[in-house]
Amino acid sequence: MKTAIITGASRGIGAETARLFAKNGYATIINYNNSEKEAFSLKDELLAQGCCVDVFKADVSKFDECKAMADFVIKKYKRIDVLVNNAGIAQIKPLFDVSESDFDKMMSVNFKSVFNTCKIVSDHMVSNKSGKIINLSSVWGNVGSSCETIYCASKAAVIGFTKALAKELGPSGINVNCVAPGFIQTDMNGCLSKDDVDEIVDETPLARVGQPQDVANVILFLADEKSAFVTGQVIYPSGGWQI
């Protein structure tokens, strides 16, 4: 059985991705940091359907906690086939109001986490000469968004890191790709007004907001052998908002 670690899988895109992987036969590790109730309720839901799932609490901005999670998975399942770096936070603030600690937190949760997990897991994948790494960026990491300078910078960093790592790990049989969604209806966008959302829909050729499943399906494809010749790419599930 293949094993997949999904970071930030207690809610939103990560939870839906964990659901999809588990239902498609992966032993799935639901990582969470704060939302313990949601993570265990997802675990119970999937166990009741006969899936193989575990929950692991780790703040992915901390290297040692990522290492403990990888050690747990290797000890129990002897392998890590797929790593999905989904955990993330957002903040809307003019640069004028962004503090140094806002900057440090955003960069460590959204970007250092990707360094942490990739560094730890790639060692194991290189020994196995196989593996799939999928990192979550955002359309905003490509085009920029007013009052989200640090979020956009963290997501742009994920794109650069993904492309470089794809070149580095390709010869070892490891695919590294990036998924950069447009607007997806999750808690992360809970602060936006109906007018804001309507405006985004107006600018979207497919004329609707995205749902977590729209992103999870792309992530599953990138973990599958059907995408064996795809690496170093950025795929935008955005309904055509980003073309």
Residues with active-site annotation: 151
- Which of these segments, 25-33, 44-52, 72-80, 227-235, binds ligand NAP (CB under 6 A)? 25-33
Using CB atoms within 10 A of its CB, is residue 91 exposed (0-12), middle (13-18) or buried (19+)?
middle
> 239: Cβ–Cβ under 8 A, 6 or more apart, which residues?
182, 204, 205, 206, 207, 208, 209, 210, 214
Nearer to ligand NAP, 31 or 204 (CB): 31
| Binding test (CB under 6 A) with ligand NAP, winner from 73, 184, 219, 234 | 184
Minimum CB separation from ligand NAP for residue 128, in Å? 25
Indicate whether 107 belongs to the interface with ligand NAP (CB under 6 A).
no
Indicate whether 131 belongs to the interface with ligand NAP (CB under 6 A).
no
Residue length, the chain? 243
Amino acid identity, residue 43?
A: K
Handedness of CA 153, 186, 37, 133 (dihedral sign): negative
| Binding test (CB under 6 A) with ligand NAP, winner from 5, 13, 20, 118 | 13
The answer to whether 76 touches 84, Cβ cutoff 8 Å, is no
Count of residues near ligand NAP by CB under 6 A: 30
Indicate whether 197 belongs to the interface with ligand NAP (CB under 6 A).
no
| Binding test (CB under 6 A) with ligand NAP, winner from 73, 165, 181, 200 | 181
Using CB atoms within 10 A of its CB, is residue 94 exposed (0-12), middle (13-18) or buried (19+)?
exposed
Indicate whether 106 belongs to the interface with ligand NAP (CB under 6 A).
no
Q: What is the DSSP letter of 232?
A: S
Minimum CB separation from ligand NAP for residue 155, in Å? 7
Binding residues vs ligand NAP (CB under 6 A): 7-8, 10-14, 31-35, 59-61, 86-90, 109, 136, 138, 181, 183-184, 186-189
